[in-house]
Amino acid sequence: MRLWFLCAVALGSLGSCHRDDDGDGTDGTGLLQIDEKTQKARKSAPGAVIFYNLFIKTKKDIPRVRKIVHEQLNLVDHPLDKEIRINSIGALKDLSRLKLSKQLAERTKLIAHYDQGFEELTLHDLWSFCKHNGTDPEQLVVYLHSKGSFHKWKGQAATDRYYLTSGALSKECMHMPKTCNVCSSRMTPVPHPHTPGNMWAARCGYIAKLIDPKKFREKMDSDFLGRHNGAPWCVGRGRFSDEHWVNSHPETAPCDLDTNQSFVSGHPMTRTFEKELKKAPRFPIATYHVSWGECPGKGESLTARLAEYRYLYSQEPPKEWWGWRSFLQESK
């Protein structure tokens, strides 16, 4: 019998059985588990740790956003095997107001409340968790946010949110092969490698190599990239740096799911889609040209992409890198 399960049932509280190395409530690299053979307690990491950036502008938005949270977290398969860590930004200070099911509530904790803030707060906590000495490099983390929480419940934002969340939490991403280290509904390589909508699953070993999300935007905004590369959305600068971050390292090995090539940027047409995990980018480069918009030709230059890797990480991509597959052109 697994100790953590008993703890959760007997005490109705995740925290009570949790190892909390830093004592700040933001750590907990694993849960205690009794090995039946040796009767020794050992750490066993949960299947995935989900970091959720929750934004609720005003108190009167709480009932509406609660439905959004329920819809997203109900997509968590096997919640007993997961941990959900929430940063709440804005009106909600107490997770009990989310009225989660007992099972989800047991697996969920508040990292912190902020009056205001942006996605990099939660990306930073996810990154810190992965950097923590002792976190298994194979450990899966998922990044979600309450997309569209300031819009009405139905409509395009709801389609986007379901499309993105159901990919990041899919069984395909939860069981991604070793050849992938980031997994999402869609990964788009131009005008800069990014995950449109920014929800994904990833391995800690890869995440730990990335620049601190709190410093990434500044790094992308520096003269080195800004001078010759054009508008922020063409480069992954400014607020577009959050979508670029998880794909910014030369060792990124993205996989994506959506078999239909109609969505590569902007908004997906449908909530649900046929999922088949493949190495990304999965289509020929011409398929992604639509995502160029006002950035024609941007991101197709091998020289520029390698220069950015050197600037950010002082590193060349490994031979498995997606960009070597005749994707980027020397001459562009």
Ligand X SMILES: *[C@@H]1O[C@H](CO)[C@@H](O)[C@H](O)[C@H]1NC(C)=O
Residues at the contact surface with ligand X, assessed by CB under 6 A: 133-134, 260, 262, 269-270
**What are the angstrom distances between the C-alpha of 56 and each of 206, 218, 307?**
31, 26, 39
Residue with tokens 């439905």, as numbered in its chain: 67
CB of 269 to ligand X, least distance (A): 4
Residue with smaller CB distance to ligand X, 50 or 204: 204
Query: Residue 199 contacts by C-beta under 8 Å, 6 or more apart in sequence?
Result: 142, 143, 144, 145, 147, 164, 165, 167, 168, 184, 185
Residue with smaller CB distance to ligand X, 103 or 260: 260
Residue with smaller CB distance to ligand X, 262 or 303: 262
User: Which residue type, as a one-letter code, is found at position 262?
Assistant: S
CB of 302 to ligand X, least distance (A): 30
By CB neighbour count within 10 A (0-12 exposed, 13-18 middle, 19+ buried), where does 108 fall? buried
CB of 98 to ligand X, least distance (A): 32
**What are the angstrom distances between the C-alpha of 163 and each of 68, 220, 328?**
13, 28, 28
Residue with smaller CB distance to ligand X, 122 or 166: 166
Residue with smaller CB distance to ligand X, 12 or 134: 134
DSSP letter string, 176-245: --TT-SEEES--B-SSS-B-TT--EEEEHHHHTTSPPHHHHHHHHTSHHHHHHH-SHHHHT-GGGHHHHH
CB of 254 to ligand X, least distance (A): 21
CB of 206 to ligand X, least distance (A): 19
Residue with smaller CB distance to ligand X, 11 or 269: 269
Q: How many residues does the chain have?
A: 332
CB of 300 to ligand X, least distance (A): 24
By CB neighbour count within 10 A (0-12 exposed, 13-18 middle, 19+ buried), where does 298 fall? buried
Residue with smaller CB distance to ligand X, 15 or 134: 134
By CB neighbour count within 10 A (0-12 exposed, 13-18 middle, 19+ buried), where does 66 fall? middle
CB of 312 to ligand X, least distance (A): 23
